Structure 1
């Protein structure tokens, strides 16, 4: 039985009628907690497309991981990956947009490896680290889905590859020291607790890049404005796109800051196929 969406129709009716693009976060939103696309969700996505709506993913995952899920969902088209740093179809195709970091910044990251911290470079083809990073691969599972990981004897071996994110795993106090030393007008950084263990993540990417900026690039390609876009998310990296979109919705399992700024909160969680229920109830009836 579907949940009720009367409150969304009442408060957002006109904006919902203007929607031409639906942008979906993956982890914690479209995927179940065990990282699956359910048959019902795939069917609902295809149903929305059959009604003439564009559907795309907007995620922190790498494009390699996104393109596999997109194929499973029948969405072999451009998506927003790496929190807006890379917008494209597959790692093999020319991207619509790439926000690679400057070579000097990437080189500087190698000089900031205090004891207790592990450095990862996020590239178009996957995550790269030196051999010492093997014991912390599991912390990167949300980005890699357990694949698309490479270890090298030295990061010098891949220094010519474009790097989109600098990523460290370690104790919070160690990561705070790295962030302070690498502070730059060209970088934005975020430290957050891992859900996979006691350590924290430090993520650095180019200033001005987030899921909202990625959707602007995708929208220009499609001829769709952010005002004509509906987004659904659950976590802090969804804040910008939820605020910028014509309709920004939070999952029932979304963290409090996301629920507070969203235009509406869905009645169901990701493990209750909340995205499928939304699409069926609002766009497919």
Structure 2
């Protein structure tokens, strides 16, 4: 793998026969969506053509399943959603797999967030269950961030007492999460996944969880190889997912570690990079 991947649109000659892609998996924020959180122009016709060709398109996101299902409502039938950073995989409303987080771990993370907040860190926890997300902070600034990713959410008095199967705990820090909040979770990192998923978000998940594990499970179930898989990502929670595909793409404005890990660069999320790359490799005109 090259130290710095080459830009696909600069170096790849369109194949005489389109590549044998059977599965396209893309992160959402910073990847498929532009910085204003908008779906790219031309997405629905491309998804229709992929479906016609028998290519499965799968969003893989830290977002909640309910949020993803709403975003793709008009084309959701038959689509596999890799939700909650891979901890919850659903197709047509039926769970294909999940990797729940132990309740005592979720409670420990919540208590850590409370201590950080008491010390003046502007942070809040989102305890993510299969039915809903749960938060203790009720200020509008925090809830506005939660709504972007968790359409099903509830404000509760104590997130450690919710009656739901917890699959991860997401933390939102109004400052750079890698400076303050992520280091405070080091005690959990020895046994669990502590994954920075954005400038302000970090997730704590079971040690066996992640987008990469979910994708590999999906490949096994469907009989699809890494050579038949195309993956797009931009942030650290996408790294293992990129490893599961021969056609792995970092967005040109991705985190530097993601750029180093991917085999190719795609144009940025603000330049319709996912669809332009699919068009080039699979041979679908935009």
TM-score by length of 1: 0.81
Gaps of 5+ in 2: 1-6
Tell me, yes or no, if structure 1 residue 278 matches structure 2 residue 277.
Answer: yes
Paired residue for 1:118, among 111, 120, 124? 124
Please state whether the residue corresponding to 1:220 is helix, strand or coil.
helix
The answer to whether the 8 A contact 1:80-1:86 is kept is yes
- Shift in CA distance, 157/179, structure 1 to aligned 2, threshold 3 Å: closer
Runs of 4+ in 1 over 6 A off after TM superposition: none
The answer to whether the 8 A contact 2:8-2:264 is kept is no
Count of equivalent residues: 269
Distance 2:86 2:222 in 1: 16
Paired residue for 1:162, among 148, 154, 165? 165
Aligned counterpart, 2:3 = none
Alpha-carbon RMSD: 3.0
Please state whether the residue corresponding to 2:232 is helix, strand or coil.
strand
- Shift in CA distance, 149/141, structure 1 to aligned 2, threshold 3 Å: same
Distance 2:189 2:264 in 1: 36
Tell me, yes or no, if structure 1 residue 128 matches structure 2 residue 127.
Answer: no
Please state whether the residue corresponding to 1:213 is helix, strand or coil.
helix
The answer to whether the 8 A contact 1:191-1:203 is kept is yes
Moved more, 67-76 or 20-29: 67-76
Please state whether the residue corresponding to 2:39 is helix, strand or coil.
coil
Paired residue for 2:193, among 188, 199, 202? 188
Deviations 1:90-123 (A, max 9, x none): 6xx3311111111222233343321144222012
The answer to whether the 8 A contact 1:79-1:218 is kept is no
The answer to whether the 8 A contact 2:131-2:164 is kept is no
Paired residue for 1:148, among 149, 152, 155? 152
Gaps of 5+ in 1: 195-199
Aligned counterpart, 1:44 = 46
Give runs of aligned pairs for residues 185-224 of structure 1, distance below 5 A.
185=191, 187-190=192-195, 194=199, 200-224=200-224
The answer to whether the 8 A contact 1:55-1:75 is kept is no
The answer to whether the 8 A contact 2:195-2:237 is kept is no
How far did 1:272 drift? 2.3
TM-score by length of 2: 0.81
